[in-house]
Structure 1
């Protein structure tokens, strides 16, 4: 047994650093390839892989540096002769600093990582200290490797510093402070009053006139196809919304005048470019890389790494090293160069670089195939599908096991989730509905009615005070009613607004189930669970009749008489709205008013968007983006939000004497 343990220890001492360095390389490749793709991929698999790679990358580098520094310290204490293999490991140690700097495409996996920038600062001090200790020991040898290690160490320190600076800049406190204007003390009040008192003492009849300065609004030159230049200008102003800051009425009027001349597709294109800029600023090294200093630092890291590789190829004596160690060293240097080249390719093809192109050439650039900037998909959840068909039964684990493991609700959320494309027609529908209210005296107030503004135009609909319902209750009511009407409408009779209503309805239920933090505060989860429980019990009692047919399920629901309000029967014990929704569905089926339903859903979507904080919208950018975030920013551009500081303009006082 002792001999086996000794062999295992010997094996680990010989192979642990080799395994860690190869693993670190693989993780760096994963991070740089997938870091930007999560901006437009909404699937769960990419987040799981990226999360594991993000956590493992730092851990592997830290552990490897610790092992190398410990081995170096032991060698110094024992004063043993330095072996060629140890020299190469000292060289490899500097690459862990390079890897800790991370690729340009991802600095933070989530916003919470930006808040921990001080922890990363401490980590940087410790890890660069370990690497510099190994480097100082290596400098005692008389070959070229220590000199090359210095180059890699400098490149790694630069990258690590870039990552730390980016994390600090994206931290909520510094992000907000960076957008605050310079302190403005205003006109000199003391001097003004001295002059006022002096003239009054001289016997003049003194008065004060208020002079209103009307600001000059920016005049936009509308191109045939607006794009990156306009989006970047708007981004510089409206990114304050992500810090829950207030915009001026000049910002509102200027932006509104621009968007009024766009189509729905063009407006959403501008918004998605802005959100792309926001993603880059919060989750990548964009704030460091896309400027003159960033280009200079990138040239330094690239040239230092390339020079180190060339010197190792043609200058260093390689005969004394093992062939496997040489292969690993060339792999380290080669992959580092390839990652630098890929980073330059990403930099050149990014929107940040495109904005520097002249506007005449920009139109030609935009006529190229459209670049994906977000997933352009809506997640879908359907309550009746969840209750009629239990997809979780298809899993390998029985429900009793998943329930005991407390993962049944998690599986229910993600196993039943599907995706649909956000079509151009849907974008146009949303944009047209939003534009209707830009001429109102108080556009923001329109969206506090949660759908009642549209319903107020149709008093003949018997909806029994549905306008006064709480928002989460309204989502469930309209979702079930919309689903019943859509299911019972023959496919040939479904107009486009019916499809749009269905998709927004399922999307709002997804938000209620999976992202309740993006909706106004309420008891939505309690209502949802109670409604699901009642629906499952209803369908379970009629399982032989329904036979997994959704049409039959909807017909059975409508067969239940609702002459007595469900609330009188249930009281306050259950929050279920199942049969209230059935009553609403009966009224809608009589009218067949899909245009009304679609308007109600757009109004509810807009209400949810305005009540979601900017931080939550920023949080969802790393998951492929949300339609709700695009609607929120579009509403801000149209002035349909409460985040404007409305005033009459700038004013200054003037002394009048006679």
Structure 2
């Protein structure tokens, strides 16, 4: 009976299975084309699942279908069109231009993809040979050959892109130093018109490559010093460009052979479509197969047109167009691609500005622009009686559930950029190896600016990074709770920004420890979670009051009762002690500005972690929308090479106006 029930399914699979799989393969390519562009600027869990499933299923479906077709060897007249689909599966295996890898590990498997490439090309060739498409002198032969060549070229291009992303492609030859001589052929930063950030992002791309891929032969002076505001935007744009380097075909596309492949693929696909249209008039085929073939051919044409337009109007083409490259075929092709001579160097800039005016501009070339938030005290005070947390605890997934529910993200506000600027400026002329440099200090330099505080609080920064983050995070929110109550009528925006920075550092420790230096783990965090959730019997504001009381007890030395209640935990004791100390210092000296001190410590912790984060971790996070730590790390690299300056346009204008009083004619026009 079971065999009788399955027989219709077997018949259906034999009749329609290959057609269904080929249509699924094409659908997955469309999904990847759309979602891959979104993921560069969106750190969404649902989006990750969609892209991950589409990426895995796309290769699996195409490989399985090719294998099935090579075994069944369709030879009859009504199955001939199925054999014609084999080259399209190669084309699908070549993937879309904006996604070659889902994660950084996929690039390292390029040899496996090369092996698969050889096997699948042989399988597709075998399917065509067995179907007699190539042997018979019909219009099928040139159409099949054209699509087969396109499929081989695009699949091979993907393998090359994977190999290029995991190796240092600049270690074999030096790029010529970038210089400007004032000729008509060259473009200087001051003459780049409405979109100078694009120029700088591409010209200085060697710096993020060195940070994320390994040492490169970078010229010591690529540009004159640039302002912080400009370089912050450049660093943000370079996150998008490095996403292209690691996870797309961008570096291959924007070469002379990359442009040639785009032109050839489009023309060959259009020719195949026209040949097939004429062929259908001569022979009779099953309507469903004909419709499916039209979908594949028309879809391939649309995808190739999309690929060509994306290449033409990409900022990568803009970078090729304006950079000085003698005898550079890629630059010539990029110039010709824009056709009207008056477009020239500003064409793509104008295109990007137009897109920005309709609301879809800059975000397409930037990162997510958000920072994660995890308030440890808020989580512990709310999850205790949460029904969802109780159920997760029962099935042994409490930590996973709490991280899912009690983490969020907020936009990176201009106030955070200003705080970063102010802190980094303090280290501008400090020796880079000095322990007080912002990339080394971890809060030490901020405390040293207040010697009376450093003597009492240096223990909080002279410890492991994991403990410093935990101690300062808990202490920050003990203090901010008291501070906001005190200033309820006039809340200070610096307190809000400080809370966000503290939550971000805790988010990195709890949710993304791989974005911190490699010796940092979650063990201390999990131990504190157990204490505050399961040992303390307080909720909401009562928890903060209890933490303050515990801090007072630690300072006075009366910790025996507390130790019996919650057990001994040095990190917990130190966090409560620091929170109470910060409140007492504010009460003793109202002008001490403790909020500013805490923000400075948070920024120094952030810079320390960003600069020492593993390059592989920075590169991995680019596939999920990027991370603020990567932007900070790039800015620290630019400061190291003396490219970063903190003199603003307004400061220069004021200086110029001042000088014009004594030296007429020297001011800005």
TM-score (norm 2): 0.81
Matched, 1:587 2:588: no
Tell me which residue corresponds to 2:368: 375
Closer/same/farther in 2, CA of residues 57 and 367 from structure 1, 3 Å limit: closer
Report the 3-state secondary structure (helix = DSSP H, G, I; strand = E; otherwise coil) of the residue aligned with 2:555: coil
Deviates more, 1:228-237 or 1:313-322: 313-322
Shift of 1:280: 0.6
Tell me which residue corresponds to 1:106: 99
Q: How many residues align?
A: 583
Matched, 1:419 2:409: yes
Tell me which residue corresponds to 2:20: 19
> Deviation digits for residues 541-590 of structure 1, max 9, x if unmatched?
23xxx4xx3x3331232133222569998699855523322221222224
The question of whether the paired residues in 1 share the 8 Å contact of 2:208 and 2:242 is answered with no
Structure ranking higher on relative contact order (CA contacts 8 Å, 6+ apart): 1
Instruction: Return the alpha-carbon distance in structure 2 between the equivalents of residues 157 and 22 of structure 1.
Output: 20
Matches within 5 A, 1:167-206: 167-171=162-166, 175-176=167-168, 178-179=170-171
The question of whether the paired residues in 2 share the 8 Å contact of 1:438 and 1:640 is answered with no
Deviates more, 1:570-579 or 1:37-46: 570-579
> Deviation digits for residues 330-356 of structure 1, max 9, x if unmatched?
111111111112222322332202222
The structure 2 residue matched to 1:241, chosen from 184, 190, 211, is 211
Tell me which residue corresponds to 1:654: none
The structure 1 residue matched to 2:84, chosen from 91, 105, 110, is 91
Which consecutive residues of structure 2, in runs of 5 or more, have no partner in the other structure? 182-187, 323-343, 587-592, 643-669
Matched, 1:612 2:576: no
The structure 2 residue matched to 1:354, chosen from 300, 303, 318, is 318
Across the aligned residues of Structure 1 and Structure 2, the Cα RMSD in angstroms comes to 3.0
> Deviation digits for residues 40-81 of structure 1, max 9, x if unmatched?
011111111111111110110011011111111xx6xxxxxx
Matched, 1:386 2:379: yes
Tell me which residue corresponds to 1:476: 470
TM-score (norm 1): 0.82
Tell me which residue corresponds to 1:324: 288
Shift of 1:366: 6.3
Instruction: Return the alpha-carbon distance in structure 2 between the equivalents of residues 566 and 469 of structure 1.
Output: 24
The question of whether the paired residues in 2 share the 8 Å contact of 1:106 and 1:284 is answered with yes
> Deviation digits for residues 267-314 of structure 1, max 9, x if unmatched?
211111222221111110011111221111111111111111112223
The question of whether the paired residues in 2 share the 8 Å contact of 1:380 and 1:419 is answered with yes
Matched, 1:258 2:253: no
Tell me which residue corresponds to 1:599: 600
Tell me which residue corresponds to 1:131: 124
The structure 2 residue matched to 1:155, chosen from 143, 150, 161, is 150
Closer/same/farther in 2, CA of residues 322 and 387 from structure 1, 3 Å limit: same
Deviates more, 1:136-145 or 1:381-390: 136-145
The question of whether the paired residues in 1 share the 8 Å contact of 2:161 and 2:252 is answered with yes
The structure 2 residue matched to 1:441, chosen from 422, 431, 436, is 431
> Deviation digits for residues 383-414 of structure 1, max 9, x if unmatched?
112211118945499225531xxx44333322
Closer/same/farther in 2, CA of residues 128 and 359 from structure 1, 3 Å limit: closer
Closer/same/farther in 2, CA of residues 398 and 284 from structure 1, 3 Å limit: same
Shift of 1:27: 0.4
Tell me which residue corresponds to 1:516: 513
Closer/same/farther in 2, CA of residues 391 and 32 from structure 1, 3 Å limit: farther
Tell me which residue corresponds to 1:39: 40
Deviates more, 1:385-394 or 1:148-157: 385-394
The question of whether the paired residues in 1 share the 8 Å contact of 2:389 and 2:401 is answered with no
Closer/same/farther in 2, CA of residues 140 and 524 from structure 1, 3 Å limit: closer
Report the 3-state secondary structure (helix = DSSP H, G, I; strand = E; otherwise coil) of the residue aligned with 1:36: helix
Tell me which residue corresponds to 1:450: 442
Tell me which residue corresponds to 2:451: 459
Instruction: Return the alpha-carbon distance in structure 1 between the equivalents of residues 159 and 418 of structure 2.
Output: 42
Closer/same/farther in 2, CA of residues 567 and 118 from structure 1, 3 Å limit: farther
Which consecutive residues of structure 1, in runs of 5 or more, have no partner in the other structure? 76-81, 184-214, 642-658
Report the 3-state secondary structure (helix = DSSP H, G, I; strand = E; otherwise coil) of the residue aligned with 1:62: helix
Matches within 5 A, 1:275-290: 275-290=239-254
Closer/same/farther in 2, CA of residues 181 and 163 from structure 1, 3 Å limit: closer
Matched, 1:527 2:528: no
Closer/same/farther in 2, CA of residues 361 and 565 from structure 1, 3 Å limit: farther
Instruction: Return the alpha-carbon distance in structure 2 between the equivalents of residues 83 and 254 of structure 1.
Output: 64
